[in-house]
């Protein structure tokens, strides 16, 4: 017994730093990841960072984290990135190929946080190389879920969920067999319009939609959250990530954003993942998995919270969730169609080209059109998924004319 106690008290040998690549380093997930790495006392070493259109922001992150390589998706920002990194040994590059190169740099873990369909190809590249991927881009699985899961199995890559809901479910599941899981429930805050009438929601402005009560996120995700489309996308992601059919996936509105996910088992027990609404919690879990590290995230004080409430989502006021769940149940290529049409519709809303309630309507029209003309086959590869994605974008833009199409970001 004394020997066992002595062994347990012996100081652990300091392990080598875990090497990290951050795709989407200048976004909200990237900034939270930077915060964790900066406070982790040398536990992580950053190999590469990649960003979209902010060369100065990317250079700042690269310098702060001591990255070896910085890749900007927008080629026009290369000169500014190079200038901002002058005097350092950090290599700079720009363009889609550069982002892919960042994804393929040697690393123990790749954080996949490039928003939207733009993140599909580089994240898939990391997966194909057998990397452990901390996935923060739900569109990867919504757009090309079957291809991603097949490739992960073939390459031996691990997918660790960064979304707070999926991370909570991942932890709550433990090593349970799928056959013992009766229901997986993702929670939704309800967003800024949770108590609004249908009429008020229909007239909502971009500024109102971008004011989330609990979370600080990028504009696209925040608008998705306001209409509950985000929760629909997350249900589709959970379907692929955990291998659970639609009938065993549920959604509850939980305004406090404390309970992030629940797993109900066939014996009647339920486990839940709870934490303060802070993305540093699931990011830290993925970066250090299967170990745990300390973070500066606010500790959960249930006595201060006082009350946790739950309610069923209202499909009348939030039709986007209904449309997403129908796409999952229908299957074939509809999740891919849904994702592409939604990105275009959200951009149109943010550019004040359509009203808030037209987002769900446009997405539903795109899904109906795909079914009608037979292009809704399940994509058998990432290239196929991206081809469907591009075709749907063009078709959806045509729904509101050339003026809208010219003002939207083209992938």
Last residue of a domain, one of 265, 290, 305: 305
Decide the pairing of beta strands 69-72 and 91-94.
parallel
What is the reported pLDDT for 15? Answer: 56
> What are the CA-CA distances from residue 125 to residues 31, 105, 140, 313 (Å)?
23, 10, 12, 36
What is the reported pLDDT for 217? Answer: 80
**Residues 130, 179 within the same domain:** no
In the structure, what pLDDT confidence band is assigned to residue 6 with cuts at 50, 70 and 90?
A: very low
- Decide if 264 is inside a domain: yes
DSSP-assigned letters across all residues of 178-229: GGGEEEEEEEE---TTTT--HHHHHT--HHHHT--SS----HHHHHHHHHTH
DSSP 34: H
**Residues 208, 148 within the same domain:** no
Number of separate helices (H) and strands (E) present in the chain: 19, 11
**Residues 158, 183 within the same domain:** no
pTM of the model: 0.90
- Decide if 310 is inside a domain: no
What is the reported pLDDT for 13? Answer: 41
**Residues 67, 199 within the same domain:** no
CA distance 261 to 213: 19
Last residue of a domain, one of 162, 182, 207: 162
CA distance 113 to 286: 13
- Decide if 321 is inside a domain: no
**Residues 282, 343 within the same domain:** no
**Residues 286, 372 within the same domain:** no
What's the number of domains the chain is made of?
3
Give the range among 4-8, 195-199, 210-214, 252-256 with minimum mean pLDDT.
Answer: 4-8
CA 236 to chain centre: 12
**Residues 336, 297 within the same domain:** no
- Decide if 124 is inside a domain: yes
**Residues 194, 294 within the same domain:** yes
**Residues 25, 147 within the same domain:** yes
Cα torsion through 24, 29, 31, 35, rounded to 10: -130
- Judged against a pLDDT cut of 80, whether residue 202 lies above it is answered with yes
**Residues 399, 268 within the same domain:** no
Q: Nearest CA to 46 among 85, 10, 17?
A: 17
- Decide if 278 is inside a domain: yes
- Judged against a pLDDT cut of 80, whether residue 135 lies above it is answered with yes
Q: What is the mean pLDDT of the chain?
A: 91
Helix (H, G, I), strand (E, B) or coil at 368: helix
Asked if residue 51 lies in contact with residue 24, where contact means CB atoms within 8 angstroms, the answer is yes
CATH number at residue 376: 1.10.1740.10
CATH number at residue 22: 3.40.50.720
In the structure, what pLDDT confidence band is assigned to residue 400 with cuts at 50, 70 and 90?
A: low
Phi, psi of 50 (to 5 degrees): -135, 145
> Which structural domain, as residue segments, surrounds residue 88?
18-162
Q: Which residue has the tokens 């065993």?
A: 248
**Residues 96, 215 within the same domain:** no
**Residues 173, 225 within the same domain:** yes
Cα torsion 217, 221, 224, 228: sign: negative
CB burial string 77-107: b at 16+ within 10 A, e below: bbebbbebbeeeebbbbbeeebbbbbbbbeb
What is the reported pLDDT for 408? Answer: 41
């Amino acid at each position: 017994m004394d020997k066992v106690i002595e062994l347990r008290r012996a100081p652990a040998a300091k392990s080598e730093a875990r090497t990290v690549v951050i795709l989407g380093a200048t976004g909200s997930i990237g900034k939270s990841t930077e915060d964790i790495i900066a406070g982790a006392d040398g536990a992580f070493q950053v190999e590469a960072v990649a960003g979209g259109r902010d060369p100065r922001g990317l250079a700042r992150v690269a310098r702060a984290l001591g990255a070896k390589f910085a890749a900007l998706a927008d080629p026009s920002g290369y000169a500014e990135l190079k200038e901002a990194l002058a005097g350092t040994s950090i290599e700079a590059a720009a363009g889609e190929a550069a982002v892919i190169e960042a994804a393929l740099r040697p690393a123990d873990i790749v954080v996949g946080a490039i928003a939207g369909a733009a993140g599909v190809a580089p994240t898939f590249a990391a997966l194909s190389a057998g990397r452990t991927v901390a996935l923060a881009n739900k569109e990867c699985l919504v757009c090309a879920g079957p291809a991603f899961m097949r490739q992960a199995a073939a390459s031996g890559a691990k997918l660790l969920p960064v979304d707070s809901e999926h991370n909570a479910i991942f932890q709550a599941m433990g090593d349970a067999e799928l056959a013992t899981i009766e229901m997986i429930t993702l929670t939704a805050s309800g967003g800024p319009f949770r108590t609004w009438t249908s009429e008020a929601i229909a007239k909502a402005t971009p500024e109102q939609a971008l004011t989330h009560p609990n979370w600080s996120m990028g504009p696209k995700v925040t608008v998705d959250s306001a209409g509950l489309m985000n929760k629909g996308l997350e249900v589709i992601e959970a379907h692929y990530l955990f291998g659970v059919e639609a009938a065993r996936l549920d959604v509850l509105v939980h305004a406090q954003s404390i309970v992030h996910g629940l797993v109900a088992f066939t014996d009647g027990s339920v486990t839940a993942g709870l934490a303060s609404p802070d993305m540093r919690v699931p990011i830290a879990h993925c970066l250090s998995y299967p170990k745990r590290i300390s973070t500066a995230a606010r500790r959960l004080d249930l006595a201060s919270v006082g009350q946790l409430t739950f309610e069923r989502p209202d499909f009348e006021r939030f039709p986007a969730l209904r449309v997403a769940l129908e796409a999952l149940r229908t299957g074939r290529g509809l999740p891919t169609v849904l994702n592409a049409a939604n990105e275009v519709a959200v951009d149109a809303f943010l550019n004040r080209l359509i009203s808030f309630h037209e987002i769900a309507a446009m997405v539903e029209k795109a899904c109906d059109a795909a079914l009608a003309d037979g292009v809704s086959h399940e994509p058998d590869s990432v290239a196929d998924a991206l081809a469907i994605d591009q075709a749907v974008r063009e078709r959806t833009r045509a729904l509101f004319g050339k003026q809208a199409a010219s003002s939207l970001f083209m992938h």
